Amino acid sequence: MTDPLVVFTPSGKRGRVPAGTSVLDAARRLGVDLDSVCGGRGICSKCQVAPGEGAFPKHGVTVAPDALSEFNAVERRYDEKRGLKPGRRLGCQACIQGDVVIDVPPESQVHKQVVRKAASDRAITLDPATRLHFVTVEEPDMDAPSGDLERLRAALKAQWDLDGLSVPLPVLQGLQPALRKGGWEVTVAVNHDTGSIAAIWPGLRTAAPLGLAVDLGSTTIAAHLCDLGTGAVLASGGIMNPQIRFGEDLMSRVSYAMMNANGATEMTAAVRTALGALAAELAAEAGIAPADIVETVIVCNPVMHHLLIGVDPVELGQAPFALATSDALPLEASDLGLDALAPGARAYLLPCIAGHVGADAAAVALSEAPDQADEMTLIVDVGTNAEILLGNRDGLLACSSPTGPAFEGAQISSGQRAAPGAIERVEIDPVTKTPRFRVIGSDIWSDDPAFDAEVTGICGSGIIEAVAEMRLAGLLDAGGLIGSAEQTGTERCIAEGRTHSYLLWEDGDRRILVTQGDVRAIQLAKSALYAGARLLMDEAGVDSVDRVTLAGAFGAHISPKHAMVLGMIPDADLTKVGSAGNAAGHGARMALCDRGLRTRIEGLVRRIQKVETAVAPRFQEHFVAANAIPHATAPFPHLGPLPQVSFNQASGGRRRRRG
Amino acid sequence: MTDPLVVFTPSGKRGRVPAGTSVLDAARRLGVDLDSVCGGRGICSKCQVAPGEGAFPKHGVTVAPDALSEFNAVERRYDEKRGLKPGRRLGCQACIQGDVVIDVPPESQVHKQVVRKAASDRAITLDPATRLHFVTVEEPDMDAPSGDLERLRAALKAQWDLDGLSVPLPVLQGLQPALRKGGWEVTVAVNHDTGSIAAIWPGLRTAAPLGLAVDLGSTTIAAHLCDLGTGAVLASGGIMNPQIRFGEDLMSRVSYAMMNANGATEMTAAVRTALGALAAELAAEAGIAPADIVETVIVCNPVMHHLLIGVDPVELGQAPFALATSDALPLEASDLGLDALAPGARAYLLPCIAGHVGADAAAVALSEAPDQADEMTLIVDVGTNAEILLGNRDGLLACSSPTGPAFEGAQISSGQRAAPGAIERVEIDPVTKTPRFRVIGSDIWSDDPAFDAEVTGICGSGIIEAVAEMRLAGLLDAGGLIGSAEQTGTERCIAEGRTHSYLLWEDGDRRILVTQGDVRAIQLAKSALYAGARLLMDEAGVDSVDRVTLAGAFGAHISPKHAMVLGMIPDADLTKVGSAGNAAGHGARMALCDRGLRTRIEGLVRRIQKVETAVAPRFQEHFVAANAIPHATAPFPHLGPLPQVSFNQASGGRRRRRG
């Protein structure tokens, strides 16, 4: 008699197994994704399946009523105690007696698809590194003494075929109480990436372990607390990076480390404390204990990376910008001072691409996957340092460009961080030259009589829009000069010494101006950004790009049109210029939920061609040519014509021509 | 033409290699033990060899004058700068051109024999886990950015074929300064047992790394600082275990952990701090930096073991005495708070044998090697808990017996620790019943007119000798009763209530007596010790032992004759009863110097048959029978006849017979 045929759906995997084989065993033999925490004891219910009935012509199978064994005592008890949905069986109890079609519902699959709620709707496949394994451990025997750990190891080997797992000391310290509290039954969280035990809980624990995806930025630290069983985000949040008190931007922090004996150590302690506090905050919000967090994935720029792991970032402040380490780092969370997480929790830091292009850029590459696109894609993560990726499935290039902090509102006369009260959107009427604006925290434009928001300054996206609008309204010429009241026909252009400023807002004594200095600061920043992108285009041998993606929290607020008027980015079809939101944070979450992606990004980072802007002679040329708004030479056909004005006072105006 | 034949002495290894092969390469190919730190660059001189000249009939080789290449520029420079002994060549530079005999002098061998300066003169073969590897690392290149660590890994792979080494974070933190200080040349200390990097020093470092062998006892912590290149002990020392303030003996410390919420944590912190202080002290004594210590091997009893690694020892205080872990523990030294050692220093804890028989007993087994002896060997490590090993090459048994602290002078009326002023040797004239004694710190007996030492109490070995001498002098009967002045004929036997005490010394008001209570305490302790040994003899199926070894610092001071008169140990030929000194500490040093011994002791501990005295019914029987001095039933033929006295006052004297 031939063995019964079993067909699993939705995978379609099929094969014959000896009569009497449990559905769980059959699934394992055939490589079907069927979950189990208790290892087949009929108590965790993770292996629930829905057996088919009747004819399945598609599979060539007709399922007889007795294709599976009858409900046994274990299933009946489970059904009485916790209830089985109609038609469901416990895969570890139901035995195959005849040809059968068995559906594995999504909640019983380990590798679920998690759809991202975002424009790109890229899905994450759930394949977490950490899995739960329930084991029954032999009790100690005085006549054959052995350690509790050694008996736990024997149980993991016998019941799960898990061997040679490493056990961090903090896990060992909690082993004896857990075994006794659980009556010699415990649930072990095993990190299959590192082959280590993350946590041991008394008894059966079916709640999925949790993970923390962290985007550690120079200014803010953002994190998602994720359920590794469903991929769901249980809580998200961010806090300020407390290192700001040591320096606003990266280079000032590197300087702090160079000038102060314990500078790097202080900054390391500060960021670790903040990260721990954020983890605790999110755990509290989700109503779980921080010790339920079994792993964390962290992305950050190289300076943050080194300060987090306790490496002095001094080498990153000077050529040749050597990283202490570029590869992905598998660490213990406690190495980073995250002692409140699970006792054996692991921390995975994505690889850095180069001395100025960090693990955050690697995470952006993972999230946006330009290496899987046909279109020549430019991805710009705008911050103090812009990290720039360019390429498609034929290859990927990366560089970093020192834009400075102007895009974040720093070095701007009325500049401020993006916070309530900051002007974030600006429009200037090209005829009347009168501005209107919106501030963060209010949806009402400033020319609406209902507008009553407090105005405190102008943030990064606000200054970009203001300067671009000034150019569109003919208040600013291609060289970046603000015209006089006379030249522009508006009293809002106010002389300040030998230059002019544009009055955006005033209220009594308080005024918000866009000064000539502000325009110069924006010009420097945008030239650096454009020059970096252009350098990569040279390397790639292309003159235009098909798609531009602005990543980063700031990128989400930049108006594509205004960015292009400024010449921040190369000319492109405006419908193909968009924001990816916090792509770095999303990449961290992806690497947290799917351990296969860790291998993928490690391989991709090795293949990315790195371009160092600091030593590329053409970078300087591109930088100079990009100083004009939008550009001295490059055509911007997608923009259409801009006002042809020139306010160069050296060729007229107040300053006399010599000779 | 056949390739030249090369014969290495003293190993006798021989083979043919292509003409032009360096002596170092030839040695590696033929598996000859020839050291090298610089990897063949001609700078470390560790590979010096002494080539032979002329005829070697024994090897069938005649060495021509041009059998090796001439001195090359590298050798000449080395000779000029540092001097080569006459007849010596650098193995990495001299090339084989014809048949040759090459002697590898001892200092060029890695696996030297280190003879132990002790009675047993067992030698340690030097084969340390940590070895030095000099590498030249590529400088960073902005056009092909990679981390310094990744380039170090590439160098270790290319220059030493070392791959996949783990790099602890503290090592990584020091990498960049070391590479720059060393001009991209560094010496890497690699622990080949754990596959990890222990330290990185700038430039070439030829000084051998150092190791620390620790015997962590309940009362004292002793350590040897060893040169892992020569096996030499650079400094030795000990300090009190500060846990004493939480409880004198092991069980009182377990109780402290049970009764106080943070009790175990406090004790862990105390012992770790002390261990770090001891390491610093020994390093200072040897004139080295603690950071030069690349590994440590630690032996201790199970309670100390658990407290050191931060595991609450509560389970060791109650049946079934379950260890948290019994296997050897490979840890990072920093896990134990030893942060001042090399940044990646490792700590190796020997395996525990059972809940009461610790890694210290395993170290004793390693040091004394009863498993390699033909003689049936009894090894007793006397302390608060006696750890007992019995066996020979056919098998080994182990148990622990709760002797209590009487042997250490505790629970004795005038008892004190072994310290200056304590009576340590006692003789009683069998005719006059007059005692004489010696105190620690003085070589003069108390009956010498020159004796002027201060007398402060009696220590463990002193009370053992005193009680044994009382038995030999007829002052004490087999049941352990001290006779009255009348019965013994000496006024030194003083009535105290219904029992008697023997006056050992008095000076004005101050007296040192051996009281009936003292004798009872010693009887309890020695009965436990004997019963444990006897239980193992039962299990082994023997009625006598061939050799008795007393281990431990205390064992070194016990007089074999007196121990046998007391019946502490079974009857044996007195010439075969001896002390092994601090065998546990020596075992730690052996495992430090020879990593092969770690595998050996791990295997041996698995094979040792463990016997739990607490649940063996015969232990109680043996204990009761062993109460008599020397024993109620067992013959002690090697002792000869003892005085036949009986002071049982129930059969006469003050107490009336009933009925």
Taking the CA of residue A195 and the nearest CA in chain B, the distance in Å comes to: 14
Do A396 and A543 belong together in one domain? yes
Q: Say if residue A214 is in the same domain as residue A197.
A: no
- The alpha-carbon gap from A118 to the nearest alpha carbon of chain B, in Å, equals 34
Average pLDDT of span B12-35: 91
C-alpha to C-alpha distance for B371 and B385, rounded to whole angstroms: 22
Distance CA B473, CA B434 (A): 9
Q: How many other C-beta atoms lie within 10 A of the C-beta of residue A596?
A: 11
* A323 closest CB neighbour out of B147, B322, B352: B147
Cβ contact B148–A320 (<8 Å): no
Domain harbouring A90, CATH code: 3.10.20.30
Residue type, A389: L
Contact between chains at A140 and B614 (C-beta distance less than 8 A): no
Q: Domain holding B242: CATH number? A: 3.30.420.480
Flag if A324 and B143 touch (Cβ within 8 Å): no
| pLDDT at residue A213 greater than cutoff 80 | yes
Of A554, A547, A549, A551, nearest to A583 (Cα)?
Answer: A551
Contact B147 A327 (CB under 8 A): yes
- Cα A261 from chain centre: 33
Chain A residues closer than 8 Å to B169 by CB: 309-310, 331, 335
| pLDDT band per the 50, 70, 90 thresholds, residue A659 | very low
End of a domain among A180, A202, A224? Answer: A202
Q: Taking each helix axis as running N to C, give the angle between helix A583-593 and helix A359-368, from 0 to 180 degrees, rounded to the nearest 10.
A: 80
CA angle A220, A223, A225 (to 5 degrees): 165
Are B187 and B271 within one domain? no
Report the domain count for chain A.
5
Q: Phi, psi (5° rounding) for residue A236?
A: -135, 150
Amino acid residing at A606: R
Name the amino acid, one letter, at B271.
V
Q: Report the candidate in A41, A27, A346 with the shortest Cα–Cα distance to residue A171.
A: A346
- CA B479 to each of CA B152, B385, B428, B467: distance values in angstroms, whole numbers, following the listed order: 73, 24, 19, 12
SS3 assignment, position A576: helix
Q: Is residue A122 situated within a structural domain? A: no
pLDDT > 90: percent of chain B: 75
Q: What CATH code is carried by the domain that includes residue B387?
A: 3.30.420
* Per-residue pLDDT tens over the stretch A349-381: 999 999 989 999 999 999 999 999 999 999 998
A143–B324 C-beta distance less than 8 A: no
pLDDT given for residue A537 in this prediction: 97
Structure tokens at A545: 């790009």
Write the DSSP string, A140-209.
P-TTS---HHHHHHHHHHHHH---S-B--HHHHHTHHHHHHHTTTEEEEEEETTTTEEEEEEES---SPP
C-alpha to C-alpha distance for B524 and B337, rounded to whole angstroms: 39
In this model, does residue B116 exceed pLDDT 60? no
Both tokens of B336, joined, read: 């134990």
Q: Which of A291, A308, A380 is nearest to A569 (CA)?
A: A380
Name the helix (H) or strand (E) containing B108.
none
Same domain, B397 and B411: no
Per-residue pLDDT band at B420 (split at 50, 70, 90): confident
What is the pLDDT averaged over residues A100-108? 90
- Give contacts of A321 with chain B, Cβ < 8 Å: 140, 142, 145
Chain segment A449-465, per-residue pLDDT in tens: 999 999 999 998 999 99
B452: amino acid identity, one letter: D
> For residue A635, is it within any domain?
no
- The sign of the torsion formed by the CA atoms of A180, A181, A184, A188 equals negative
Domain boundary pick from A167, A202, A237: A202
Does the pLDDT value for residue A119 go beyond 80? no
The verdict on B148 and B100 lying in the same domain is no
The answer, yes or no, to whether residue A219 has pLDDT greater than 90, is: no
Provide the pLDDT for residue B472: 96
Mean pLDDT of B497-521: 94
- Same domain as B539, residue B400: yes
Residue A368, CB-side half-sphere exposure with 13 Å CA sphere: 34
Q: Do B314 and B416 lie in a common domain?
A: no
ipTM: 0.86
The answer for residues whose C-beta is within 8 angstroms of residue A298's C-beta and 6 or more apart is A214, A216, A308, A336, A347, A348, A349, A350, A359, A588
**pLDDT value at residue A118:** 42
Residue A104, amino acid: V
Residues of the domain holding B562: 370-404+531-625
pLDDT in tens, B311-346: 999 999 998 999 999 999 999 999 999 999 999 999
Please report which confidence band the pLDDT of residue A33 belongs to, taking 50, 70 and 90 as the band edges. confident
What percentage of chain A exceeds 70 in pLDDT?
97
> Which 3 state secondary structure label does DSSP give A554?
helix
Q: Are B48 and B91 in contact (CB under 8 A)?
A: yes
Task: Provide the pLDDT confidence category of residue A657 given band limits of 50, 70 and 90.
Answer: very low
Q: How far apart are CA B266 and CA A598, in angstroms?
A: 41
Mutation for A interface: B176, B298, B334, B346, most A CBs within 10 A: B176
CA distance to partner chain A, nearest, from residue B407 (Å)? 27
- Reported as a single tens digit per residue, the pLDDT across B278-289 is 999 999 999 999
CB–CB of B205/B187 below 8 Å?
Answer: yes
Tokens for A618, please give them: 């053409």
Q: Determine phi and psi for A647, rounding to 5 degrees.
A: -110, 20
Burial of B517 (0-12, 13-18, 19+ CB in 10 A): middle
* Backbone dihedral region for residue A125 (phi beyond 0: left; psi -120 to 50: alpha; all else: beta): beta
Chain B residues touching residue A148 (CB < 8 angstroms)? 315, 322-325
Spatial contact of A119 and A165, defined as CB atoms under 8 Å apart: no
Sign of the four-CA dihedral B621, B622, B626, B627: negative
Sign of the alpha-carbon dihedral angle for B35, B41, B45, B48: positive
Residue A141 maps to which CATH number?
3.10.20.880
pLDDT at B383 exceeding the cut of 80: no
The answer to whether position A419 is within a domain reads yes
Q: What is the pLDDT of residues B179-204, one digit of tens each?
A: 999 999 999 999 999 999 999 999 99
Q: Please determine, for residue A627, whether its predicted confidence score (pLDDT) is greater than 60.
A: yes
Measured distance CA(A586)–CA(B472) in Å, rounded: 86
Mean pLDDT, range B621-640, rounded to an integer: 93
Same domain? B591 vs B601: yes
Is the model more confident about A116 or about B452?
B452
A-B Cβ pairs (cutoff 8 Å, strict): 140
Residue B420 is encoded by which pair of tokens? Answer: 């200056």
Predicted model pTM: 0.86
| Whether residue B246 sits in one domain with residue B284 | yes
Asked if A393 and A542 sit in the same domain, the reply is yes
Bigger pLDDT: A31 or B513? B513
Q: How many CB atoms lie within 10 A of CB B134?
A: 26
How confident is the model over A250-297, as pLDDT tens digits? 888 999 999 999 999 999 999 999 999 999 999 999 999 999 999 999
Does B75 fall in a domain?
yes
- For position B649, what pLDDT does the model report? 65
The pLDDT of residue B213 is: 97
| CB contact at 8 A, B327 and A172 | no
Contact between B484 and B493 under an 8 Å Cβ cutoff? The reply is yes
Residue B172 tokens read as: 């990584």
B295 and B444 belong to one structural domain: no
DSSP code per residue over B412-468: STTB--S-TTEEEEEEE-TTT--EEEEETT--S-TTSTT------EE-HHHHHHHHH
Residue pLDDT, tens place only, B390-418: 999 999 999 999 888 788 788 899 998 88
Look over chain B and give the mean of its residue pLDDT values, rounded to a whole number.
91
Contact call for residues B552 and B358 (beta carbons, < 8 A):
no
- Of A490, A520, A550, the position where a domain reaches its end is A520
Residue range B348-368, pLDDT digits in tens: 999 999 998 999 999 999 999
Q: How far is A296 from chain B (nearest CA, A)?
A: 17
Q: Which tokens is A72 given?
A: 């046994």
- Note whether A324 contacts B175, CB cutoff 8 Å: yes
Rounded CA gap, A381 and A167, in Å?
Answer: 39
Average pLDDT, chain A: 91
Domain assignment of residue A640, yes or no = no
Which pLDDT value is given to residue A120?
43
pLDDT score for A113: 62
Helices marked H in A301-440 — which ranges? 302-309, 359-368
pLDDT at residue A527 greater than cutoff 80: yes
**Is residue B12 in a domain?**
yes
* B48 found inside a domain: yes
The answer to whether the CB atoms of B321 and A144 lie below 8 A apart is no
Q: How confident is the model at residue B659 (pLDDT cuts 50, 70, 90)?
A: very low
A339 contacts: CB under 8 Å, gap ≥ 6: A276, A333
CA dihedral of residues B145, B148, B150, B155 (deg, nearest 10): 110
Structure confidence by residue, pLDDT tens digits, A42-90: 888 889 999 999 999 988 899 999 999 999 999 998 899 888 899 899 9
Instruction: For A323, name the nearest residue in chain B, comparing CA atoms only.
Output: B147
Are A513 and A609 part of one and the same domain? Answer: no
- Mean pLDDT (whole number) for A545-570: 89
Strands A293-300 and A499-507, by their bridges, are: unpaired
CA angle at B247 for the pair B243 and B252, rounded to the nearest 5°: 125
**pLDDT digits 0-9 by tens, B525-556:** 999 999 999 999 999 999 999 999 998 877 77
Lowest mean pLDDT segment, chosen from A120-129, A151-160, A405-414: A120-129
CA distance A244 to chain B (A): 23
Please report residues of B whose CB lies closer than 8 A to that of A165: none
Distance from CA of B561 to the nearest CA of A (A): 34
Q: How many other C-beta atoms are found inside a 10 Å radius of the C-beta of residue B80?
A: 9
In a domain, B117, yes or no: no
Size of chain A in residues: 659
pLDDT greater than 80 at residue A248: no
- What's the rounded mean pLDDT across residues B607-614? 90
Q: What is the phi/psi pair of residue B389, to 5°?
A: -120, 140
| Residue A303 per-residue DSSP state | H
pLDDT digits (tens, 9 = 90+) for B454-497: 999 999 899 999 999 999 999 999 999 999 999 999 999 999 99
What pLDDT does residue A655 have? 41
> pLDDT digit string (tens) for B244-276?
888 877 888 999 999 999 999 999 999 999 999
Integer Cα distance of A20 and A5 in angstroms: 12
